[in-house]
Amino acid sequence: MRILVFFDLPTTTKADKRAYTLFRRFLIHDGYDMLQWSVYGRVVSGIDAEKKHLKRLQANLPPEGSVRSLTVTEKQFASMKMLVGSPRRQEKKRHSDQMLLF
């Protein structure tokens, strides 16, 4: 399974920019990879891990803006089509099958 996080945060004031930076750093340190600007994804091993990471995500939400999450299966994620551009280096070198072995 994968958790996808989509966000649109204000960056007009210094406080907004700081909240954006802190949220983005949290995502990176929590194991999320950037798929696109403001779209991050993370592999989770099951429903319990999903609940744990969603709680952590909710505990680190910025005070303003829009943040959404979507959980999809690996089969659904693998069926995603790249319409323009090419896969990022992280997508090429890491597959969920490899990560679930650990």
**pLDDT at res. 97:** 56
Residue 4's pLDDT is what?
98
Q: What is the pLDDT of residue 91?
A: 66
Q: Where are the alpha helices (DSSP H) in 1-102?
A: 14-29, 47-59, 74-78, 89-93, 96-100
DSSP secondary-structure letter at 59?
H
Domains, the chain, ordered by start? 2-100 (3.30.70.240)
The pLDDT of residue 86 = 81
Would you give per-residue pLDDT tens digits along the chain (102 residues)? 999 999 999 999 999 999 999 999 999 999 999 999 999 999 999 999 999 999 999 999 999 999 999 999 999 998 988 888 887 776 665 555 555 544
Q: Tell me which long-range contacts 31-38 makes (C-beta under 8 A, separation of at least 24).
A: 32/3, 32/5, 33/88, 33/90, 33/91, 33/94, 34/88, 34/90, 35/4, 35/88, 35/91, 38/6, 38/7, 38/8, 38/9
* Distance, CA of 30 to CA of 51 (rounded, Å): 14
